[in-house]
Chains A and B, each alone.
Chain A
Amino acid sequence: MTTTLVIAAFVGAYVLIATERIHRVAAALAGAAAMVLLGVVDVHVAFFSEETGVDWNVIFLLFGMMVIVSVLKQTGVFDYMAIWAAKRARGRPFAIMVMLVLITAVASALLDNVTTVLLIAPVTLLVCDRLGVPPVPFLLAEVMASNIGGTATLIGDPPNIIIASRSGLSFNDFVINLAPIVVVLLVVFIGMCRVMFRSALSYDEERVAAVMELDEREVIRDHGLLVRSGIVLVAVMAGFIAHSALHVEPSLIALLGAGALVAVSRLDAPEFLEEVEWPTLVFFMGLFIMVGALVEVGVIEAVGKVVTERVGDQYFLASSVLLWGSALLSGIVDNIPYVATMTPLVQGLVESGGNTTEANALWWALALGADLGGNATAVGASANVVIIGIAARNGHPISFWHFTKYGIVVAAVTIAIAWPYLYLRYYAFG
């Protein structure tokens, strides 16, 4: 009976999150509260259990990166790079789009996607305004590049952070297994941008002078802060690369980096906490408790057994289903709750497969499917929702279908390329 009620509470909260009938934080907290009231979750299960409790590695990795971004934002480095890129491109729209796509993709691999688009969107609007070209294609290209670029690393996209924490995969594992395909996908995506947004790429040559007149050096007022922040960021990235060898969790590296940046920046608390998305952190906590309750009552184990029996040793088939299924579901619901629910199941499958290369490829199928599938619709990833909000506030509304018209093509093509990559790398020649 309790199990049935737990499943009902989980599904109910999940539906509320997916349909956004109430705020997703409220829905996740209500779901977590239901698990407590049903007697499945107590303080030990919620806060101190590695298997069923709040994953503090994920929470503090996100928190640390948010503080790092808050400090980096104060340097104005993103505005500088975007204006510099537009001037280097001599005002040619496609060249500007390519540069902005690359900046966004690389920044998204190193920082959170939402933050990256928040930082790059205002300066994109400025460049488009000066050039007299419609900004929507540029914003769409950036957010999709952000979702693709974020796939490359452990810290690039929240689903990857959850996968890393539950799987024990390192920062380097993500880079080695996902970065090569992400590079290929970005090249293909740039080609797609040329075709998809061709009508927006014509411009008036006389407007180029308006772009060239912009002075990017003006956005960096505190050069000392920029240099100090740059040094700490490089140290943090080196820490991520070496975290396995150092036996230090990425969450601690992010926290140490955040602390170092706060110390060297000498910013006040409201400034270095500016980009901390408290609602997102609380949402994660609620989700972990909801999923932990399913583990606690044995639902995940039971489903895992059935799936394991069905999969047998057909890991490529399982990877294929996971890749396409994750992409489809991530396009419909936010990929964070989806991945939080799927990780215990995939963990069971990988362990029953003996942690072989073929079995471990399931993690990459989940990451690729969830991250790239986020491009499919306007609600597929948090960054999509954010960019649509920025565009609307600036008088350039993007409808759900306008986004989806491009997003679904990008998601389908990138997943279709990732599929043979998985086969060739882990099953044909693995």
Chain B
Amino acid sequence: MRARELSEPFPTVGLDSGAMQAAQLLAGQRLPGLIVCDEAGHPYTVLPGSQVLRFLIPRYVQDDPRLARVFGETASDEMWGRLTTSTVREVLPARRDLDELPIVDGDATTIEVAAVMARMHSPVVAVVSQGEVLGAITVSRLLQQIVPEAPSAR
């Protein structure tokens, strides 16, 4: 099966979209990530849900996870509140390898899609044809296609 057949309609956000809006999309539709488009509407990168958490949790807590336990409710609310004043651009990692986008062509095979996901640790890849986003393939959609269906429970 080709990528265009596997792809599903997928929400996109812009670089200057609000981070809270992006997080709400992720949460509301239970998505593993979002496709981020640049000003021209071309796919720019994928924002995985884990990157949103990485943005919210201070680096010093990531370095010393024990510190996560000392925060009270007020501090937690302040932490999540950062999303309301940030954009998607700010949530994305500071450096991005422009040659490495989790994007596949509409004609890509399942192995090609899997290889891109594996190499880039991305839970979602955008399917693009002639610069236009056709949709996206999530890791669960891909696995559904390549893994035999489990025998139904008796």
Q: Mark A214-247, 1 if CB is under 8 A from B, else 0.
A: 1110110100000000000000000000000000
Q: Closest A-chain residue to B79, C-beta based?
A: A129
Contact A210/B75 with A125-B58, A393-B59 known, Cβ cut-off 8 Å: yes
Do the beta carbons of A219 and B58 come within 8 Å of each other?
A: no
Task: Give complex CA distance A214, B70 in Å.
Answer: 5
Provide the residues of chain A in CB contact with B69, threshold 8 Å: 215, 218-219
Q: Which residues of B contact A (CB under 8 A)?
A: 58-61, 63-64, 66-67, 69-72, 74-75
Judging by beta carbons under 8 Å apart, are B61 and A215 in contact? no
- 14 further A-B contacts with Cβ under 8 Å, apart from A122-B67, A209-B74, A215-B70, are A79-B66, A79-B67, A122-B60, A126-B58, A126-B70, A129-B58, A129-B60, A210-B74, A210-B75, A213-B75, A214-B72, A219-B67, A219-B70, A221-B66
Q: How large is the interface on A (under 10, 10 to 19, 20 to 34, 35 or more residues)?
A: 20 to 34
Residue of A with least CB distance to B58: A129
Tell me how far the C-beta of A222 lies from the nearest C-beta in chain B, rounded to whole angstroms: 11
Q: A residues 332-376 with Cβ under 8 Å of B?
A: none
Q: What are the interface flags for A69-103 relative to B under an 8 Å C-beta threshold, 1 for contact and 0 otherwise? A: 00000001001000100000000000000000000
Chain B residues in 8 Å Cβ range of A210:
74-75
Assess the B67–A394 pair: CB atoms within 8 A: no
Q: A270 in the interface, Cβ–Cβ < 8 Å?
A: no
Distance of A180 Cα from B21 Cα, bound (Å): 60
Which residues of A sit under 8 angstroms from B58, Cβ to Cβ? 125-126, 129, 394
Interface residues of A in 129-147 (CB under 8 A from B): 129-130
Instruction: Please pick, from B70, B74, B75, the residue contacting A83 in the complex, using a CB distance under 8 A.
Output: B70
List the 6 closest A-B pairs by CB distance, nearest first. Answer: A218-B69, A122-B64, A122-B60, A125-B60, A213-B72, A214-B70
Complex Cα–Cα for A76 and B66 (A): 7
- A62 CB contacts on chain B under 8 angstroms: none
Which residues of B are found within 8 Å of A123, using beta-carbon distances? 60, 64, 67
Question: Is A410 part of the contact surface with B, judged by Cβ < 8 Å?
Answer: no
Q: Residues of A contacting B64 with CB < 8 Å?
A: 79, 122-123
Q: With the chains together, A79 CA to B67 CA distance in Å? A: 7
Determine whether the beta carbon of B67 is less than 8 Å from that of A126. Answer: yes
How many Å lie between the Cα of A92 and that of B71 in the bound state? Answer: 19
Q: With the chains together, A215 CA to B71 CA distance in Å?
A: 7
Instruction: From the candidates B59, B71, B75, name the one contacting A394 in the complex (CB within 8 A).
Output: B59
What's the least CB distance linking A108 to chain B, in Å?
18
A18 to B70, CA, bound (A): 41
Separation of A130 and B61 alpha carbons in the complex (Å): 13
7 pairs across A/B with beta carbons < 8 Å?
A: A123-B64, A126-B70, A210-B75, A219-B67, A219-B70, A390-B60, A394-B60
